[in-house]
Structure 1
Amino acid sequence: MVTEQWPPFNYQEDGQLKGFSVELVQQMMAVMNSNYPINILPSMRTTRVLASRPNTLMFSLFRTPDREDKYKWIGPLVETEVYFYKRKDSNIKTDTLEDLKRLDRVGTRHAGIIVQRLRKLGFNNLDSTATSSMQIYKMLSIGRFDVAISDSDLGVMYNLDKLNIDSSTLEKIPLLIFKSELYLAANKSLPDDEVQRWQAALDRLKSNGDHQKLLDKYLNP
């Protein structure tokens, strides 16, 4: 079982593995009466190990068309949606994407799927001077950006919590930019009955409400 440093889904802090997906996978193992060690590896190495080492599982991974036939899939662990955020006391107009394109500064990452999508949509006002997601929301909170976009709602709440910024000071703009699902992926050598056992454990956590309780915990830190 391998994972990577990607808070708030999976990460290591003070020598401890933490995150929504870490806790969810641990709960799945408890349902299965199993206890596989979870190894945190550099991002590029996790997918290499997943592809090359028999009976390996990895989380959290976006299930995309180009990856579909490479692995066996267990999930979804969680659905992720990415929105713009602004300061709640801001009076800027943000009803449409065209409104956002007219703003002075839209804070975002310097690269990645979100930036690519925004550029395709015609955004020419992107400011990528922040060096991390945490800094993006810090700069938004002090007024350096008009709006910001970088992470899913879980990621935004995680960053605000680490910054000691009250989440009520920011407001989500209801214009969906990106939507996808995260999965537990398995090397294709993993037997189908083992994949089904993992899926059944996840399905049980969803049906008994434990999955939603864990999601609520991370959305309301």
Structure 2
Amino acid sequence: AAPVTSLEQLLHAPQITTRHAGLLPDMLQSLGFKNLDKSAAQSVQLYRMLLNGRTAIIIGDTDAGVAYQSRQLNIAPGTLRQIPIELYRSSLYIAFSRDCEDELVASWARALETLRQSGELERIQRRYEQLVGQ
């Protein structure tokens, strides 16, 4: 079969396997995906199903997630082919309980700003991007 390279092709793929619950499967359904196999409870199951030939396409991880699961399962580089289609983008946040002291929240905010200003945050991000490329 020809490689999948577009959202339209994904919509018409025989089957796409994703986690059984959460933001991503809900979003895919709202986009009109009718070909979802939502039998995986965890990300690691997606990769095991793929490696065991139980599915041909999985959706559910960021580049960093693919790199992490590949390392965890000893998947050789080049074994998996990522489809370059962005389905979802989101900012990440650090959340605190309402019970947390204001000073703790302020301390985290100051530390994050220090990391930003020193360039350390960017170095950390680049390190993870390099891990993804391996």
TM bucket (normalised to shorter chain) is 0.7 to 0.9
TM-score normalised by structure 2 residue count: 0.78
- The separation in 1 between residues aligned to 2:68 and 2:48, in whole angstroms, is 12
Contact 2:6 2:85 (8 Å CA) reproduced: yes
Unaligned runs of 5+ in 2: none
The amino acid across from 1:104 in the alignment is P
Structure 1 residue 205, shift from structure 2 partner:
1.3
- CA distance in 2: counterparts of 1:104 and 1:119, whole angstroms: 15
Aligned partner of residue 184 in structure 1, secondary structure: coil
Partner secondary structure for residue 55 of structure 2: coil
Query: 1 or 2, which has the higher strand percentage?
Result: 1
Tell me the equivalent position of 1:117: 27
TM-score, structure 1 as length reference:
0.51
Counterpart of 2:43?
133
1:196 partnered with 2:106? yes
State the Cα deviation string for residues 84-109 of structure 1 (Å, max 9, x = none): xxxxxxx5342321101211121101
Residue matched to 1:157? 67
The amino acid that maps onto 1:151 is D
- Counting only pairs closer than 5 Å after superposition, residues 73-152 of structure 1 correspond to structure 2 as 92-152=2-62
User: Where do 5+ consecutive residues of structure 1 fail to align?
Assistant: 1-90
Instruction: Report what 2:92 is aligned to.
Output: 182
Question: Residues 167, 217 of structure 1: CA spacing in aligned structure 2 closer, same or farther, 3 A cutoff?
Answer: farther
Q: Which residue of 2 aligns with 1:12?
A: none
What is the Cα-based RMSD across aligned positions, in Å?
Answer: 2.4
Counterpart amino acid of residue 135 in structure 1 = Q
Structure with greater helix percent: 2
- Aligned to 1:185, what secondary structure does the other structure show? coil
Deviation at 1:180, TM superposition (A): 1.6
CA distance in 2, matches of 1:160, 1:107: 17
8 Å Cα contact 1:134/1:160 also seen in 2: no
| Contact 2:25/2:38 (8 A) holds in 1 | no
* One-letter amino acid of the counterpart of residue 124, structure 1: K
Residues 101/182 of structure 1: CA separation in 2 closer, same or farther (3 Å cut) = same
User: In structure 2, what is the Cα distance between the partners aligned to 1:121 and 1:110?
Assistant: 16
